């Protein structure tokens, strides 16, 4: 007979529920490992790419871009394989051969791509790390902007989408201070006349829009 244990709030928890959760996560990692278009950082060979999405989550945003532009090469990068596998299997189901999925940290991408080879780097709803002491972990911190600058081609651009006004404004300040040129700026992307590609919704974006949040978007050219 299975025994449930009380939580700190008095609710009865079943230890088997957590076992199932762990099994599901292991299953997703296994799916990532078994896909021919998924790569671990250690197995990745430095290469060129037209478009790189950093902090890609499920990678479904990159999948849709790859579907629209079969002549370009896309790479979705995230530290969590159990998320990326979803995009990988969707890409395989669509028969796409121009998108790959890489499990790596954002600070490792300079080792993953040839310098000056990337046309566009996308940051789609990165963790805002709202506490001031965690500012160095934000993907628009000057430390990361220098990494992107090394990877982007001469007229390459950084595209940022985010739902947090505070993080978005902070990111704009970092771009200006780091001498990036802001070419396009929308504080409410989906109510603007911005190009349709910008309005492709990520998995999380659909949720945020459903809660009434606005998406900010900026396109900035490297110094």
Which active-site residues does the annotation give?
127
- Burial status of residue 79 (CB atoms within 10 A of its CB: 0-12, 13-18, 19 or more): middle
The DSSP call for residue 113 is B
The DSSP call for residue 74 is E
Beta strands 74-78 and 99-103, pairing class: parallel
How far apart CA 160 and CA 122 sit, in angstroms, is 6
- CA pseudo-torsion sign 14, 15, 16, 21: positive
The DSSP call for residue 70 is T
Beta strands 51-54 and 5-6, pairing class: unpaired
The interaxial angle of helices 60-68 and 81-94, nearest 10 deg, is 30
């Amino acid at each position: 007979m299975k025994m449930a244990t009380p939580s700190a709030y008095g609710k009865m928890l079943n230890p088997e529920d957590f076992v199932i959760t762990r099994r599901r996560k292991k299953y997703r990692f296994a799916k990532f490992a078994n896909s021919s278009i998924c790569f671990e950082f250690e197995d990745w060979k430095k290469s060129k790419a037209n478009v790189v999405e950093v902090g890609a989550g499920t990678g479904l945003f990159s999948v849709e871009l790859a579907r629209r532009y079969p002549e370009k090469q896309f790479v979705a990068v995230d530290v969590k394989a159990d998320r990326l596998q979803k995009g990988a299997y969707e890409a395989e189901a669509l028969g796409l051969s121009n998108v790959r999925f890489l499990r790596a940290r954002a600070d490792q991408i300079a080792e993953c791509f040839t310098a000056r080879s990337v046309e566009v780097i996308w940051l789609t709803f990165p963790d805002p790390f709202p506490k001031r002491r965690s500012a160095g972990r934000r993907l628009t911190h000057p430390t990361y902007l220098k990494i992107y600058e090394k990877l982007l081609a001469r007229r390459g651009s950084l595209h940022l989408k985010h739902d947090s006004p505070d993080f978005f404004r902070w990111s704009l300040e970092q771009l200006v201070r780091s001498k990036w040129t802001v070419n396009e700026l929308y504080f409410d992307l989906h109510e603007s006349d911005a190009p349709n590609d910008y309005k492709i919704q990520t998995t999380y974006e659909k949720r945020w829009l459903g809660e009434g949040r606005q998406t900010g978007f900026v396109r900035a050219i490297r110094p």
